[in-house]
Structure 1
């Protein structure tokens, strides 16, 4: 059964897709175990399976969280006929779940993960059953899962982590993939271990000197806010600080999308189903740095960080001072992994002891999808080359700064 018959979302009268589960019995593994794939368009219908899989194996992204996905869909107002949940079973045991957004891109029906660049990485929700498969069986498993996704042209799965030796981390052997970035994490049993491993004498001295400079400007306070706390002022300040930073860099601001600010604010409510920890650094009561984190068990994922661009306090490095207190706080509170996202920065170089390669996976489902995947890969290669050209980055930054200055009202500095 196809997902759609014409451009746009699934026709409203095609209720069989929404009401009945599409079941496909696919490849038969050893010992008579069969791969069975169910397709759903209702998030609530897969909640039980999702919870079971999440309890069997640690996930690597908030995008693999049921609560986060539910909030994302609600705030982005994604209709049911643009959602697709593929649940794969080995025998009677659920083994994996793909939560996908159905989009049109340049006349092509594309399947992709929901949150995109708002999370450091993403991937299928997988359970322990996959560990029992051999590598050829695992490849057959994924081929049958994607073979069940009829009606789309291609699945474009961005920023999927792959760590050698862990079969739950990879989609190896499926379609084509290209390396795109690296994910950075700090993984320690305690703050003492983290401090001893990541900070030498010179680094501690440098942090102390910056802390003294910041303290000389006024009283410094560090806060940890959680679900249910009053966060409106913090959320607004955080987004304003990020917007200033993006303008200065000449980079598109992904947080300007409609509904995004409300999403991050509402996830801090008691009934969101998402555990949020918000770290805030204040100077004389003024918010100078923030970090917005999603919690999954002993893992914490930082989705947004911000700091004041006020030159008067830059000598005190409020962003780095906030992060220092964050590292002390999270490992003292029992968290064992802190995900700082993709892309190398000084902070990640100083604090992260785990690096994971990220790949874009392209799984064509039709010849048209194959052409789209090749074009997308070429475009990505050109963008990567442009990013590596320092002169082009400097030119873009200078242009953005001139544009920002031109927009500033007369007489304002």
Structure 2
């Protein structure tokens, strides 16, 4: 039996003899062999966690390194669910407890800035369809006394041909969809999904504009350049939000600190990266000017653009953000990526690149009577947001109003405009 150590990832603290146990064991009737333990520390789970995250379809947002960075910055209490079958690991759901307006919510770690969440499951669990329905009761029982409501946001019920084991939980469709560009055998074939002729014509036009001012350089930041580029992104995005009268979702110290931590957690060797900065730098008469910045995460053959920004003060007619996307996508195709993900949030430039639109859901599992009321309210909020977002003029007005009042942050999205 595990004992609580009251520590967080990467920061060890000695346990005391009178600490309560961190294990709430449940045996769902549908799966007698399934047991769930609950942990308030990441450290005891690291080996099993890293084993499960090797699954190519598991989201980078549930990887050990990604979660560690958020935990170190925000320090919310943890309620990490570890499922086992006998002595074999079955799944890990990395949850944190966030208290708001008297309600304790169990959410995926760092969910506010996640583009897709899947949880972590073993091959044995995924192969046994009889175990998935037991999750609802098992999770509710494990979280009793720790949370009022479990909200697992941005979960695709089916992802790249696999049905999510979490699909049996009560769900409401998220108001935001995600957009992806699958890579086919050749770069040309990949472009044909989104009108290759028009794309190439636009790229050549942009290239001519940039060459006429002295050229450009596509940067993949070295370790000593990463932090400066990330800070430049925060600045560029703040300007764009201000000009658009939108709230700045990156304008808080813990969030910025987390993304800086993620830059330093990239794996040595190979291509995988929790966060890597890319940029378009001008040459010639505008030498050194950074016209566009993007941050990519890569896990296996899946790349997510976590966020991007532009500075169109000098070469706006070249659409530097679109140009940088071309350069990144072309390079990643050569490196064997299968899917380029623009993340959640419906913008015109995403639709111009993406033939695939992925519907995601928020899973709402009440734990207490207060949680049941909160779940009903959350469903109403989500339905209202969906209705507002379907009306472009109303949505723009609401965003401007929120910006003036400074009311909170926009939820997850690669552009910070996903709420």
The TM-score bracket by the shorter chain reads 0.7 to 0.9
TM-score (normalizing by structure 2): 0.83
Cα distance, 1:41 vs. partner? 0.7
Structure number with higher helix proportion: 1
Q: Which residue of 1 aligns with 2:133?
A: 139
TM-score (normalizing by structure 1): 0.84
Q: Which residue of 2 aligns with 1:345?
A: 347
- Is 1:148 the counterpart of 2:142? The answer is yes
Within the candidate set 61, 69, 78, 1:63 is matched to: 61
Alpha-carbon distance change, 399 to 354 in structure 1, aligned in 2, over 3 angstroms: closer
* RMSD of aligned alpha carbons: 3.1
- Contact 2:296–2:303, Cα closer than 8 Å, also in 1: yes
Distance 2:192 2:160 in 1: 28
Give 3-state SS (helix, strand or coil) of 1:86's partner.
strand
- Is 1:185 the counterpart of 2:180? The answer is yes
Matches within 5 A, 1:21-170: 21-29=22-30, 34-60=33-59, 62-76=60-74, 78=75, 82-134=77-129, 136-151=130-145, 152-163=147-158, 166-170=161-165
- Contact 2:245–2:404, Cα closer than 8 Å, also in 1: no
Alpha-carbon distance change, 105 to 217 in structure 1, aligned in 2, over 3 angstroms: same
Cα distance, 1:356 vs. partner? 1.9
Give structure 2 stretches of 5+ with no counterpart: 1-12, 406-419
Q: What do the CA deviations read for 1:162-184 (whole angstroms, capped 9, x no partner)?
A: 22795552522323433432221
Matches within 5 A, 1:193-232: 193-226=189-222, 228-232=223-227
Distance 1:269 1:206 in 2: 36
- Contact 1:103–1:109, Cα closer than 8 Å, also in 2: yes
Out of 263-272 and 360-369, give the one that drifted further: 263-272
Cα distance, 1:379 vs. partner? 1.9
Give 3-state SS (helix, strand or coil) of 1:83's partner.
coil
Cα distance, 1:57 vs. partner? 4.8
Distance 2:198 2:245 in 1: 34
Distance 1:402 1:46 in 2: 44
Q: Which residue of 1 aligns with 2:366?
A: 364
Q: Which residue of 2 aligns with 1:277?
A: 276
Q: Which residue of 1 aligns with 2:322?
A: 320
Size of the alignment, in residue pairs?
Answer: 386
Q: Which residue of 2 aligns with 1:392?
A: 394
Distance 1:17 1:247 in 2: 51
Distance 2:173 2:265 in 1: 40
Out of 356-365 and 196-205, give the one that drifted further: 196-205
